[in-house]
Amino acid sequence: MLPFPDIDPVIFAFGPFKVRWYGVMYVLGFIASFQLVRLQIQKFRLTRLEGLFDNLNLTLIISLVLGGRLGYVLFYNFSYYLGHPLEILATWEGGMSFHGGLLGVLLGGYWFCRKNGLNFLETADIYVVTIPIGLGLGRIGNFINGELYGRPADVPWAMIFPGGGLVPRHPSQLYEALLEGALLFIILWKLKDRQHKANWPKGTMLGLFLFFYGLLRSFAELFRQPDRHIGYLAGFITRGQILSGLMIIGGVIMLILLQRQQKR
């Protein structure tokens, strides 16, 4: 068993103002993503997107935060927030959903592209291959916070988390950082170049992201402790696996439709 590295989630504080590792991970994820998107814009000479880059980024950040928070409220704790509606705004207390954040980004991005005459699928392909960087960093932030820990385990690298009782558990946040972060980024970044060489239809990277993320997240959920107030659904499946399963189905359907459309 490994000791849990008791890292203070707060980096520094000025009175009531606190800078937390989790928030810094979000900022680093945004910076890395936007820099990689800028590189692709220059490489593929997307001049129209380049002129709208900053405004689109602002729209996506707002969409991510709103979608992530509302997704958590609706998907994971609706009954609680139904009785405490004012706490929906208390984002500093935690509670963000990746699936909700993704939905928010897709809707916000689609609205922006439609309003400004951008090709949504082409734009989504450029951005989506960079998302795993933020995902991986976010999971490291979860690990530092000691939240979203894993199920009981007897592996040599199991840890006792502050909120998980005196039971050694999987450091599932690190599993997810490696799977949904590092591995997914490598897969998508390599396939990105192949898309342009093989003339895959626009939207292919978005479909592949939905499929591979759903697959990797579903696997990682086998080691992650379900939310205490939700538990297992039907006795064996988690809420995260259900939402990820829908992503897999959506990704497969999208890829099939894109291929059919290209053959016409």
Q: 261 or 151, which is more confident?
A: 151
What is residue 74's predicted lDDT score, i.e. its pLDDT? 85
pLDDT in tens, 25-39: 989 999 999 999 999
Contact between 170 and 151 (Cβ < 8 Å): yes
pLDDT in tens, 134-184: 999 999 999 999 999 999 999 999 999 998 999 999 999 999 999 999 999
- What's the chain's average pLDDT? 91
Contact between 36 and 57 (Cβ < 8 Å): no
Query: CB-based contacts of 190: which residues, under 8 Å, 6+ apart?
Result: none
229, pLDDT greater than 80: no
